[in-house]
C-alpha cells in the first residue's frame, strides 16, 4: 500500500518537513552524490591518471545504462541534452522537400523544437536556397495512424508525456513507423528511473538524467540502435566523436569518420561531472527491479487520482496504470499561484502550461498523498470556482 517510502529518505538531501512531489521537474538528490563530486575533483586534479579514471566512470555508466535498458554497451552514449541529440539526428538526414515528421500536439519542446525551428528557417528563406527540412505534422491522441503517410520520415514521441502523464504503447508506434519505413525516435525522460525500459523498440532514444534517474543536467543518455540503423552516421563532429586514433591527422588529406558507437553524440569532451553523479544514482537505483519502483509510485498515482475524483477535481492523466507514468496532472486556472501557495504550505509540486503536476518517486509514500489532499483541493476551489473542468 506504499505506506512507507521504498527509498530511505535519510539517504537524500531534503528540506525537513517538505513534501517533495515534483520528480518530473527535479528529483531529490542523493547524499552519496557529494562523494561523487569529491571523487571527480580528486580525479580532475590528478593529471593523465585522473583522465583515465574519468574514462572508466564513463564506461561504467554506459554499462549500467545498457543493462537497465536491455541494449548493447556500444549503443549507449551521451549527448549534452535531449535537444542536442535530437538535433544531431535531424541534421544527419538527407531530407527531401516533401518529407514530414509526426509529433503529438502537446509533445515536449526538445522533440518538436529542432524540427519546427528548422522548418521555420526554410520558410523564412526568401531565396528558396539550399535549406531542406521536413514539414512537422501534429496529431492528437489516437490520430497517429491517420496522420502518418508514405512521406513520413520520422516519428518522435515521449514514452510518458510530460504534459499529462500519458504513457503510449511503443509497440504500436514501432508498427506504424515500420508500415511507412519511418525512423522511430523516443524520449524516455519521463520514464527512465522508475519503470522498465526496452530501448530496442526505437531507432534512436534519449533521456535527460535529472528527474527519476536522480542525476543532474549536463548529460543526457543517447541510444543508437545499430541493428536497425547500421549505416547511420552523424554529419558533424569534434575531437571526441571522430575516429582519429592516437596520432594527429594530416587534416588536408585525412578522410574523417565518426566513431562507430553511440559516443559519437559527444562531439566534445563528455560531461564527466554529471557522469560521476549519474553513476552514483544508477548504482543506487539498481538495488530494485524497475517494476518494483513502478508498482510503488503507481500505488500513489492511483490513490491520488481516486481521491481527486471524490472531490470532483478532474485530472487529465488517464486512470489506468498501463496508460500513465508516475505523474498526475490537473488543468487549473492560475496554476502558478496554486503551486506557490502549496510551497508555502510545505508541498513542492510543479506548474506550467496551465496545470499543476504531482510526481512521485521511491522516496514518497501514501502520507504524501494525504498531505496533497489536505491542501490542494482548497486551493483548487479557491482559484477555480467557476471552472468548467469540475
pLDDT at 51 over 60: yes
**333-349 pLDDT tens trace:** 999 999 999 999 999 99
Average pLDDT, integer, range 359-372:
98
Work out the mean pLDDT of the chain and round it to a whole number: 94
Domain 33-286's class?
alpha beta
CB 293 within 8 A of CB 362: yes
> What residues have CB less than 8 Å from 65, skipping those under 6 apart?
76, 221, 282
Output the pLDDT for position 249. 75
> What confidence score (pLDDT) does residue 255 get?
81
For residue 353, the model assigns a pLDDT of 84
Least confident span in 254-263, 290-299, 325-334: 254-263
Q: How many CA atoms lie within 13 A of 289 on its CB side?
A: 3
Percent of the chain with pLDDT over 90: 87
Phi, psi of 208 (to 5 degrees): -70, 160
CATH code of domain 9-24+290-384? 3.90.1150.10
Note the pLDDT of residue 388: 44
Spatial contact of 239 and 256, defined as CB atoms under 8 Å apart: no
Specify the DSSP class assigned to residue 162. Answer: T
pTM of the model: 0.94
Among 389, 257, 287, 270, residue whose Cα is nearest residue 334:
389
Angle between helix axes 32-44 and 272-285 (nearest 10 degrees) is 140
pLDDT tens per residue across span 227-256: 999 999 999 999 899 888 767 777 777 788
Dihedral Cα 254, 260, 262, 267, nearest 10 deg = 0
- Which element (helix H / strand E) includes 184? strand 183-187
CA dist 380 and 330 (Å) reads 9
Helix, strand and coil percent figures for the chain, each rounded to 5: 40, 15, 45
Confidence band (pLDDT; 50, 70, 90) for 208? very high
Using alpha carbons only, give the angle 38, 209, 46 rounded to the nearest 5 degrees.
Answer: 25
Which residue ranges make up each domain of the chain?
9-24+290-384, 33-286
Note the residue count of the chain: 390
CA–CA separation, 187 and 158 (whole Å)? 4
- Give me 28's grid cell: 531529490
Q: What is the pLDDT of residue 129?
A: 59
Phi (first) and psi of residue 343, to 5 degrees: -60, -40
CB neighbours of residue 246 within 10 Å: 4
Instruction: Give the mean model confidence (pLDDT) for residues 119-147.
Output: 80
Residue 126 binned pLDDT confidence (cut-offs 50, 70, 90): low
Amino acid at each position: 500500500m506504499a505506506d512507507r517510502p521504498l527509498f530511505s529518505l535519510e539517504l537524500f538531501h531534503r528540506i525537513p518537513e517538505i513534501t517533495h512531489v515534483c520528480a518530473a521537474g527535479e528529483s531529490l538528490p542523493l547524499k552519496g552524490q557529494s562523494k561523487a563530486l569529491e571523487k571527480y575533483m580528486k580525479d580532475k586534479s590528478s593529471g593523465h591518471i585522473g583522465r583515465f579514471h574519468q574514462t572508466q566512470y564513463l564506461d561504467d555508466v554506459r554499462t549500467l545504462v545498457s543493462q537497465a535498458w536491455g541494449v548493447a554497451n556500444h549503443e549507449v552514449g551521451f549527448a549534452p541534452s535531449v535537444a542536442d541529440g535530437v538535433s544531431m539526428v535531424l541534421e544527419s538526414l538527407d531530407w527531401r522537400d516533401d518529407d514530414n515528421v509526426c509529433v503529438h500536439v502537446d509533445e515536449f519542446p526538445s522533440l518538436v523544437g529542432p524540427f519546427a525551428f528548422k522548418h521555420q528557417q526554410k520558410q523564412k528563406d526568401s531565396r528558396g536556397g539550399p535549406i531542406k527540412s521536413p514539414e512537422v505534422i501534429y496529431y492528437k491522441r489516437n490520430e497517429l495512424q491517420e496522420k502518418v503517410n508514405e512521406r513520413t520520415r520520422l516519428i518522435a514521441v515521449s514514452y510518458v508525456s510530460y504534459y499529462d502523464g500519458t504513457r503510449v504503447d511503443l509497440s504500436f508506434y514501432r508498427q506504424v513507423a515500420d508500415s511507412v519505413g519511418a525512423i522511430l525516435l523516443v524520449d524516455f525522460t519521463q520514464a527512465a528511473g522508475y519503470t522498465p525500459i526496452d530501448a530496442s523498440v526505437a531507432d534512436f532514444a534519449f533521456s535527460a538524467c535529472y528527474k527519476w534517474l536522480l542525476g543532474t543536467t549536463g548529460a543526457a543518455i543517447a541510444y543508437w540502435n545499430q541493428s536497425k540503423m547500421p549505416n547511420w552516421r552523424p554529419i558533424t563532429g569534434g575531437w571526441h566523436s571522430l575516429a582519429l586514433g592516437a596520432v594527429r591527422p594530416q587534416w588536408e588529406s585525412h578522410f574523417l569518420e565518426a566513431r562507430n558507437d553511440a559516443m559519437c553524440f559527444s562531439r566534445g569532451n563528455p560531461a564527466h561531472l554529471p557522469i560521476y553523479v549519474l553513476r552514483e544514482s544508477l548504482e543506487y537505483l539498481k538495488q530494485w527491479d524497475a517494476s518494483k519502483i513502478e508498482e510503488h509510485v503507481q500505488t500513489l498515482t492511483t490513490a491520488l487520482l481516486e481521491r481527486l475524483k471524490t472531490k470532483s477535481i478532474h485530472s487529465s492523466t488517464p486512470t489506468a496504470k498501463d496508460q500513465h507514468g508516475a505523474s498526475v496532472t490537473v488543468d487549473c486556472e492560475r496554476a502558478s499561484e496554486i503551486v506557490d501557495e502549496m510551497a508555502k504550505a510545505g508541498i513542492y509540486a510543479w506548474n506550467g502550461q496551465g496545470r499543476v503536476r504531482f510526481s512521485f518517486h521511491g522516496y514518497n509514500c501514501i502520507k504524501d498523498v494525504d498531505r496533497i489532499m489536505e491542501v490542494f483541493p482548497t486551493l483548487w476551489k479557491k482559484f477555480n470556482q467557476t471552472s468548467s473542468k469540475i
